[in-house]
Chains A and B, each alone.
Chain A
């Protein structure tokens, strides 16, 4: 009827997609109770920062995208509350829930199939706190897009020195949150995108890039707030390429196949404004500090982001914020950089630095809190020391509890008196296996810690807390599911500490883990169904292509997977690697393995894979000799000479080799004798 009117209205809608299932979370001790995006940062949920910023930047419609889990309703309600304060003309928030969304790629494909995205849209993660001028960025994106149709996405980076603001106790930080960028100096077209992995920060630039542009701007470590302005091509590209999981894989794909796809990506490296993702707990701590120091102005602690009313009193001299109803016993002067919520009582002797205290908490005399993030209704009794830690709702700390850095104390935990929580511990109030299914589909951390009663040596005589084993990564969770007989040692000697536990995973690792998981599934199923070797190979190769894994990794994964598939169920439901089980698995998959072992080097890889398996799961150790014997004699996959060579060279050089060495010494001896005999017989025959 009136198409003209529609034409005028349609393009003005600026959409933003906020992903709430961020690629990394804070660990189950927090996210089990609260979705990550609703975790308060300086007493304001993370999602509010994102929404408030988008609102200020003139975004009309926000799609909050989440995976279906028990928290979905919380997010929905929260968004409703946020928008209910706005009038009709305010920002619209739509919560989209999907059943099976594992990564950004899935989300994009889902949104594409639902055709919810109309034009250029902003893609970001829900844990972003930013004050960048999005309007300018979007305007520039549109302008570039007009002049260059092949440009499909603008990635936004922030150029700021990360090192200068390093938070204490953090190592290797910023290695996944930064990217090395090479762009064409004149257009800003992205020519090279690399996640800087190692500390040696030398950048190598392929000289063929000079053909694309004679002047290259190189950003050795631009901070990546995972923010992008996408054109409508991006979701369709994701749905065309099912192997694109993350934005990085899209970048890689578009850059590598530029000639094929005919698309290009531009970068905008923003110098002004603030942007930082509270992606890990370390980053959370950092962002908290920066918000308190008003770096994210106008998003400051004293004003509520939902209602814009001034909720806290702010003292610029000490950078402290407090709700007028908070009680400070007279003479309290020990706070600097602190946020104190409503109804909280802070005793005169308590010292707060760089900390956030929620509502209705009590902090007794002599409490020292440094970079502690204390949620609501927490009681902390005298003499407690907290540093660099997260204390959930309703926690009670009796006298003299020391919570070391990197600890997460889940809601409802009681601790003390007089206990010291070692660094990096995650504590929860209920024995882990009683939990309802958590945010992760895989981690019903049942058998991992089957302690029904709280251990007083951990949580103190009045305490009630259970240690939640650090989740290294998805893969380790899976492993624990698979083998699980072992009681936490599976974390391995080099991975147990807090830093690693909280460290985020890069996309490559992620895809490797996904690959491992798929292969393991294929093998376990294949063993049950007695699938033919060709079909297994086909299945594994399909996974390999999907995750873009190197042949070497495939071989390692397949070797370990076969051995893992051979675990037998014990009566109590747990599994245990036993020789008969392994033997059947080997028999079943000998042809599969043989398919991947082509040259002598591959045999070494198999041996190294076995050794690495021993590192993770020492319970395979007794079977090693038999495994090697069968691979050598029965299946003839490994040659005797190769095994001897490998043995003499000291294996893969892991910690497990010494034990393996002793356990297979007999076999090696026999092999050596055998080969001598062979030589003799050869001599005779010749």
Chain B
């Protein structure tokens, strides 16, 4: 042994290298990205593409949560995807220049699995030596620093930390397509106003005439009952509790949704008596808390005599959007020009890709985004638009306030206003407030207003 130690100090470079490998720290968190969602609230768009690959500006949606994780120094993420999409998903990384390793785990979406089912499916992939699991939805666009949330989680000795942010209405309205009523029933989150401790979580509309708060009378802090808080679907959960809840014999075994069922369950368990985890070192823990009154709850005292489960909400004041409806998708796309530096800092994706060919006689406004390989011909007028990669805008086309998906061709003479175009416009037409996903629905010289032009389902 002494010899070996000496080797370490005086030894050859090989030995030093070996030492540096050994002191590499074990990962404390593992990330799971839930990207198998079908996008039920935006079926017009997800009929042709999985939700997680819908482009936000020029990048697929999935790149945003992955970059969020990468920014926090995570090296690996498990991505749950719908079966059959795993190849496309794993391409996202190289396509966007991310360095994070993606381990895609396909789930069979034919049975319409919930988020909890997805998690159960990949439970075996969660390493035994991590403390916490970060669960993030693929549709999250935020400028939060995950590191801050992780620090908050650890500092509070939290069992579960949920990222929340003030709910902000879309800035760009109206969204294209027919007028629909906004989705109203919002989540109810009850937190202790100062500490941010989560007291109650009720998923949208899942309440009656009254809402019963659990008894937390010992606390002095008033409770903030909020319906204006967005649950960003980013959770940091202790691995132990996640495994408990996902285990076969657990009370949650029939729960399908993590957010609507398992999260409220974990939160409610805080206030049930005897929620102590009985672990092998409980005796020790009780001794510690008995004799060392200065013990502060932290992650090192998971099963101290304090209530074992404590859930917190991290209240982020910045940008936090879930892109799960057409209005939010529309809004975030339109805002992407100003947001891209905030939500993807350091990712070199310029607003005008160098490979884009913009004719010098084309008028492209400053606040437009132009993707790689996109060709903008002369005498076109493009204001406040998002043109994804490999689009083609023919001469004499006029685009304003619109979003074009990848590989969209706009034939000459088209006028597109406030529309979402996901298929080539091969005929001259006028679009106002429309969503186009099927080019065969476009007829020459026609004007469309407030319509969804999508492929007609076969059974009609």
Contact = CB atoms under 8 A, between A and B. Distances in A.
Interface string A517-540: 000000000000000000000000
5 contacts: A163-B218, A202-B212, A203-B215, A207-B210, A218-B213
Interface in A194-224: 200-208, 210, 214-222
B140 interface: no
A221 B229 CA distance: 24
A203 B219 CA distance: 14
A182 interface: yes
A220 B227 contact: no
Contact of A202 (B213, B218, B225): B213
B216 interface: yes
B35 to A, nearest CB: 31
Contact of A218 (B207, B224, B228): B224
Interface string B213-238: 11111111011111111000000000
B210 A215 contact: no
A161 B220 contact: yes
Given A161-B218, A163-B218, A207-B207, A216 B213 contact: no
Contact of B210 (A200, A204, A220): A204
Identify the 6 closest CB pairs spanning chains A and B, nearest first: A214-B228, A216-B225, A201-B215, A218-B223, A204-B210, A204-B212
B212 A203 contact: yes
Contacts of B190: 218
A206 B228 contact: no
Contacts of B179: none
Contacts of B209: 206-208
B227 A203 contact: no
B220 A214 contact: no
B210 A221 contact: no
A163 B217 CA distance: 9
A229 B58 CA distance: 59
A551 interface: no
Interface of B: 186, 188, 190, 193, 207-220, 222-229
A252 interface: no
A207 B208 contact: yes
B222 A218 contact: yes
A221 B227 CA distance: 22
Contacts of A208: 209
Interface residues of A, number: 26
A198 to B, nearest CB: 11
A264 to B, nearest CB: 19
B213 A214 contact: no
Contacts of B208: 207
Given A204-B210, A206-B209, A207-B210, A216 B226 contact: yes
A182 to B, nearest CB: 7
Nearest to A220: B217
A222 B219 CA distance: 11
Interface in A145-201: 159-161, 163, 182, 185, 200-201
B215 A202 contact: yes
Contacts of A161: 218-220
A269 interface: yes
Nearest to B224: A217
A205 B210 contact: yes
Given A201-B217, A210-B227, A214-B228, A219 B222 contact: yes
A588 to B, nearest CB: 45
A220 B223 contact: yes
Nearest to B190: A218
A216 B224 CA distance: 6
Given A215-B228, A221-B217, A159 B211 contact: no
Contacts of A214: 186, 226-228
Question: Which of B193, B217, B223, B229 is the most central at the interface, judged by chain A CB atoms within 10 Å of its CB?
Answer: B217
Interface of A: 159-161, 163, 182, 185, 200-208, 210, 214-222, 269
Contacts of B224: 185, 215-218
Nearest to A216: B225
A200 B215 contact: yes
Contact of A215 (B207, B212, B226): B226
Contacts of B219: 161, 220
Question: Which of B209, B213, B214, B222 is the most central at the interface, judged by chain A CB atoms within 10 Å of its CB?
Answer: B222
Contacts of B214: 202
A216 B217 CA distance: 17
B215 A269 contact: no
Nearest to A182: B225
B227 A215 contact: yes
B207 to A, nearest CB: 5
A127 B101 CA distance: 69
A205 B193 contact: no
Contacts of A217: 193, 222-225
Nearest to B167: A214
Question: Which of A159, A214, A221 is the most central at the interface, judged by chain B CB atoms within 10 Å of its CB?
Answer: A214
A215 B222 contact: no
Nearest to B228: A214
Nearest to A205: B211
Contacts of A163: 217-218
B218 A269 contact: no
B225 A215 contact: yes
Contacts of B223: 217-220
A204 B190 CA distance: 12
Given A201-B215, A216-B226, A220-B216, 10 more contacts: A159-B220, A202-B212, A203-B213, A203-B215, A204-B210, A214-B227, A215-B227, A215-B228, A216-B225, A220-B219
Contacts of B220: 159-161
Contacts of A207: 188, 207-211
Question: Which of A161, A207, A222, A269 is the most central at the interface, judged by chain B CB atoms within 10 Å of its CB?
Answer: A207
A215 B188 CA distance: 9
Nearest to B223: A218
Nearest to A210: B227
Nearest to B221: A159
B190 to A, nearest CB: 8
A160 B217 CA distance: 11
Given A215-B225, A269-B222, A220 B207 contact: no
A201 B208 CA distance: 20
A221 B213 CA distance: 13
Nearest to A218: B223
A202 B214 CA distance: 5
Contacts of B225: 182, 205, 215-218
Contacts of B188: 207, 210
A414 B320 CA distance: 75
Contacts of B227: 210, 214-215
Contacts of A210: 188, 227
A161 B192 CA distance: 14
Contacts of A215: 224-229
Contacts of A202: 212-215
A396 to B, nearest CB: 44
A17 B224 CA distance: 33
A350 B123 CA distance: 70
A600 to B, nearest CB: 29
A676 B360 CA distance: 107
Nearest to B186: A214
A203 B216 CA distance: 10
B193 to A, nearest CB: 6
Nearest to B214: A202
A335 B186 CA distance: 60
Nearest to A185: B224
A210 B211 CA distance: 11
Contacts of B217: 163, 201, 220-221
Contacts of B207: 207
A201 B193 CA distance: 19
A200 B212 CA distance: 12
Contacts of B229: 215
A582 B20 CA distance: 99
A214 to B, nearest CB: 4
B262 to A, nearest CB: 22
A216 B215 CA distance: 17
